[in-house]
């Protein structure tokens, strides 16, 4: 994909996350190269040249910026935070306080800032959600409220009940009336993404800078009568594996189960989206004809826009009748990248 120098410079000034992975800016006066969202002081336009990969910038003699770390995926946790995430994922019943973090040679204020920036909640809230998620699964498996409370790291049944009611909206004894929607965050070449899943399958996959993300999260909570808690499940693990393979060019079809609530019309449109061949595109008019509603072009476009599972349900493969790109929640530049990626892999596999 070709992006003009003016567009890239403007994105650099705005620190636009929608351009993550699409270009790298190299500063001639300092000899370093940065990702588009770098918070370092911005250079003059004439002092910047652009590359499509970090490797290209390195080949031209530039060094990676220490501020934005362009050699790692955008949003990747630093090593010490990564070790902390692994630790609490393995033992979600643990309750790590500031003293415990310092014992692990972690500065509590830095941990708080990272979780607030990348997850939108405090570290303590993140831990509490993991414990509630663990307890909910134990309740579903037939464990008593008391057993679920203590085995999930809560010091008392009353404290557990209060936390459960606060996050889920019902007391633990009424757990069967609520669906747990597990959410996780991971990085991709196009920037960080949030993914949600129920026990049935994936119900959301969106870029973290998607403007409609909060609306979509409210929508799936309402449609699934659910509560969203951080954690992981087998569907989210499968999704991350398949996405890595997709971006590496070794996967052209997703097998992960989906749980995508919607109207019958929306489901029909989304099903058709998944039938668009990898490396190919449909027009909105072509979509409407294929579902037997040739005059419903606008309705089809709206249904595409209400797709909450990006990439897996490939709404990026739908373009205008004249071949131009049209709306995409993740931004047109990401849409073009995905189309170019799939076409290049298709050509390579012929």
- 65 given a catalytic annotation: no
Catalytic residue among 38, 196, 203, 315: 315
Triad 235, 236, 242: Cα angle to 5°: 90
Cα dist from 177 to 160, 172, 217, 282, whole Å? 18, 10, 19, 41
Cα-based torsion angle of the residue sequence 36, 37, 40, 41 in order, rounded to the nearest 10 degrees: 70
Helix or strand or coil: residue 108? helix
Cα dist from 108 to 68, 81, 120, 289, whole Å? 21, 11, 16, 57
- Cα separation, 128 vs 277, whole angstroms: 43
- Cα separation, 272 vs 288, whole angstroms: 10
Phi, psi at 59, each rounded to 5°: -60, -25
239 touches 183 (CB < 8 A): no
Cα dist from 186 to 4, 30, 116, 332, 348, whole Å? 29, 31, 15, 21, 28
Helix or strand or coil: residue 64? strand
Structure tokens at 193: 């993404």
Work out the burial of residue 130: count CB atoms within 10 Å of its CB; fewer than 13 is exposed, 13-18 middle, 19 or more buried: buried
- Cα separation, 128 vs 93, whole angstroms: 9
Catalytic center residues: 315
């Amino acid at each position: 994909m070709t992006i003009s120098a003016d567009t890239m410079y403007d994105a650099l000034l705005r620190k636009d996350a929608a351009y993550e992975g699409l270009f790298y800016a190299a500063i001639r006066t300092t000899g370093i190269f940065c990702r588009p969202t770098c918070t370092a002081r911005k250079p003059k336009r004439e002092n910047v040249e652009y590359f499509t990969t970090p490797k290209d910038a390195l080949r031209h003699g530039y060094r990676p910026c220490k501020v934005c770390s362009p050699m790692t995926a955008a949003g990747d946790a630093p090593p010490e935070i990564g070790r902390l995430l692994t630790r609490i994922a393995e033992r979600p019943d643990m309750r790590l306080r500031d003293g415990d973090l310092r014992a692990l040679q972690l500065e509590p204020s830095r941990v708080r800032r990272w979780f607030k920036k990348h997850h939108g909640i405090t570290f303590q809230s993140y831990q509490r959600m993991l414990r509630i998620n663990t307890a909910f699964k134990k309740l579903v498996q037939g464990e008593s409220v008391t057993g679920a409370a203590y085995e999930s790291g809560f010091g008392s049944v009353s404290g557990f009940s209060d936390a459960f009611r606060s996050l889920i909206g019902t007391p633990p004894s009424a757990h069967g009336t609520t669906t747990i929607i597990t959410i996780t965050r991971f990085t991709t070449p196009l920037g960080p993404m949030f993914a949600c899943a129920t026990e049935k399958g994936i119900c959301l996959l969106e870029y973290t800078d998607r403007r409609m993300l909060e609306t979509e999260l409210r929508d799936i909570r309402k449609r699934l009568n659910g509560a969203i808690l951080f954690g992981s499940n087998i569907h989210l693990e499968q999704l991350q594996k398949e996405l890595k393979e997709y971006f590496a060019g070794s996967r052209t079809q997703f097998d992960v189960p989906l749980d995508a609530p919607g109207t019958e019309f929306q489901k029909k449109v989304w099903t058709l989206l998944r039938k668009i061949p990898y490396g190919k595109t449909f027009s909105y008019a072509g979509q409407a004809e294929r579902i037997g509603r040739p005059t419903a072009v606008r309705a089809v476009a709206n249904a595409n826009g209400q797709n909450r599972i990006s990439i897996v349900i490939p709404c990026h493969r739908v373009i205008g009748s004249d071949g131009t790109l049209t709306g995409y929640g993740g931004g047109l530049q990401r849409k073009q990248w995905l189309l170019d990626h799939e076409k290049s892999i298709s050509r390579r596999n012929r």
